[in-house]
Amino acid sequence: MGDMIKGNEAIAEAAVRAGARLYAGYPITPSTEIMEYLSWRMPEIGGTFVQAESELAGINMVVGGAACGVRSFTASSGPGMSLKQEGITQLYDEELAAVVINVVRYGNGIGTLHTAQCDYLRETRGGGNGDYRTIVLCPESIQEAVDLTGLAFDLAEKYRTVATLMTEGALGQMMEPCELPEFKEVKRQPWGFDGKYSYKKVGIFDRDSMKEAVLLNEKHDLIKANEQRWEDGDIEDADYVFVAYGLPGRSTKGAVEQLKAQGHKVGFIRPIIAWPFPENAFAKVNPNVKGFITVEANATGQLVDDVALTVKKSMKSDIPVYCLPYVYGIPAMKAIQEDFVKIAAGEIKEVY
């Protein structure tokens, strides 16, 4: 077992070890320690750190670094992530590889400082203009955050796209023992700008979007086929299957253990990658399951839509899908158990 380390700092160090050599960003709680850490760490290892004048500038600096083939990334939260959508859609459009970290906090507009999962729909759908998705990785622990940070850079380059590490305020702020990965050799992408015009990218005025659309769908199909990741437990004979990711996913696993000890037939699916959604996980679920239950830290229920769509796609469409949205924070195992009893008793209605 490794040393105790704070989530945000572990993520920053993991990015450095994964070969990231450009960070540009603007401070916002609860993500700020990532940039503070990199303000000394990047120069120490010969990388580039820029304290940008805004999130818009920060993500556009990532665009510049990524265009030169350098592993580049930024981090933010709520309102800052809204500003970054502009650059994210461009990174995707130019097929540039980059990583964006959202340490999610609760709220619309300027938001609050509470830890939450209210950006699920934005991160999995893409909040900027156009037709795009980013690969979205959502860790439940600091160790997993570290592992997924390295994976995020690898996947971004493999598919020439943006990978989003969608973590939560509490995970960024808490400390856990963690094993950091070895240093990766720093490699530049061969297609990055070198001033010699060896990578001939056409500008938007010469493009054929009809042809690009076909390629774009092929790429998405490939990502969907290859990159579904999840953890599951006891779903083959469950009456009810919980679906939750991140820190609520972790407490849901605990609640499932306790419910099983009380004799309930329950299981869980914890998406580790939220886009592409782990549809394959649902193939193993008991065909006679009585319902799916999402556990979420947001107000309206967001993950529940993907679960309902997946149930419709891969199972009988009349299986009820319930949602337990706990607004912000990490739902307590006790609360999840109590609400489960209400669902089983018909006191909480299904969403779909």
Partner 1 sequence: MAKSKKIAEIAKKTSSFCPGCGHGVVIRLITECLEELGQDKNIIFGIGVGCSSLLGGVLETDRLHCLHGRAGAVCTSMKRVNPDNIVVAYQGDGDAYSIGLAETTSAAYRNEKFTAILVNNTNYGMTGGQMSNTTMPGQKTTTSPMGRDCAITGNPIKFPELVADQFNAAYVARGAVNTPANINKLKGYIKNALEAQINGEGYSVVEVLSPCPTNWGMSPLKAMERIENELIPYYPLGEFKTREVK
Binding-residue total with partner 1 (CB under 8 A): 36
Crossing angle of helices 142-159 and 7-17, rounded to 10°: 40
- Selected range binding partner 1 among 19-27, 157-165, 224-232, 253-261, rule: CB under 8 A: 19-27
Each residue 186-215 as x (binds partner 1 by CB under 8 A) or -, in order, gives -------xxxxx-x-x-xxxx---------
Give the pairing type, strands 240-243 and 266-271: parallel
Which of residues 195 and 287 has its CB atom nearest to partner 1 in the complex? 195
Query: Are 35 and 25 contacting, i.e. CB atoms less than 8 angstroms apart?
Result: yes
Q: Least separation, in Å, of the C-beta of 42 and partner 1?
A: 11
Which of residues 19 and 271 has its CB atom nearest to partner 1 in the complex? 19
Closest CA to 74 of 109, 107, 27: 27
Q: Least separation, in Å, of the C-beta of 50 and partner 1?
A: 6
Q: Binding residue for partner 1 (CB under 8 A) from 6, 21, 105, 114?
A: 21
Q: Binding residue for partner 1 (CB under 8 A) from 80, 87, 111, 325?
A: 87
Which of residues 89 and 294 has its CB atom nearest to partner 1 in the complex? 89
Q: Least separation, in Å, of the C-beta of 148 and partner 1?
A: 24
Name 72's bridge partners.
22
Query: Are 131 and 194 contacting, i.e. CB atoms less than 8 angstroms apart?
Result: no
The residue written with tokens 């609520």 in the block is: 248
Q: Which of residues 25-64 bind partner 1 (CB under 8 A)?
A: 48, 50, 52-54, 56-58, 60-64
Query: Are 320 and 350 contacting, i.e. CB atoms less than 8 angstroms apart?
Result: yes
Which of residues 194 and 338 has its CB atom nearest to partner 1 in the complex? 194
Report if residue 94 touches partner 1, rule: CB under 8 A.
yes
Q: Which residues contact 257 (CB under 8 A, 6 or more apart)?
A: none
Residue 239 CB neighbour total at 10 angstroms = 14
Query: Are 71 and 21 contacting, i.e. CB atoms less than 8 angstroms apart?
Result: yes
Sheet with 162-168, strands from edge to edge, namely 48-51, 22-25, 72-76, 98-104, 162-168, 135-137, 273-275
Q: Least separation, in Å, of the C-beta of 10 and partner 1?
A: 25
Which of residues 153 and 322 has its CB atom nearest to partner 1 in the complex? 153
Phi, psi of 195 (to 5 degrees): 85, -5
Q: Least separation, in Å, of the C-beta of 157 and partner 1?
A: 16
Distance in angstroms (rounded) separating the CA atoms of residues 267 and 253: 8
Q: Is residue 292 classed as helix, strand or coil in its secondary structure?
A: strand
Query: Are 30 and 172 contacting, i.e. CB atoms less than 8 angstroms apart?
Result: yes
Two structure tokens written together for 152: 């995020």
Q: Report in angstroms the alpha-carbon separations of 43 from 51, 60, 75, 164, 323.
A: 13, 20, 18, 24, 46
Report if residue 22 touches partner 1, rule: CB under 8 A.
yes
Report if residue 14 touches partner 1, rule: CB under 8 A.
no
Q: Least separation, in Å, of the C-beta of 244 and partner 1?
A: 36
Which of residues 49 and 322 has its CB atom nearest to partner 1 in the complex? 49
Q: Least separation, in Å, of the C-beta of 68 and partner 1?
A: 5
Which of residues 50 and 146 has its CB atom nearest to partner 1 in the complex? 50
Distance in angstroms (rounded) separating the CA atoms of residues 352 and 350: 6
Report if residue 72 touches partner 1, rule: CB under 8 A.
yes
Which of residues 90 and 252 has its CB atom nearest to partner 1 in the complex? 90
Which of residues 34 and 63 has its CB atom nearest to partner 1 in the complex? 63
Q: Binding residue for partner 1 (CB under 8 A) from 29, 83, 86, 309?
A: 86
Q: Least separation, in Å, of the C-beta of 118 and partner 1?
A: 26
- Residues lying near partner 1 in the complex (CB under 8 A) are found at 21-22, 24, 48, 50, 52-54, 56-58, 60-65, 67-68, 70, 72, 86-87, 90, 94, 193-197, 199, 201, 203-206
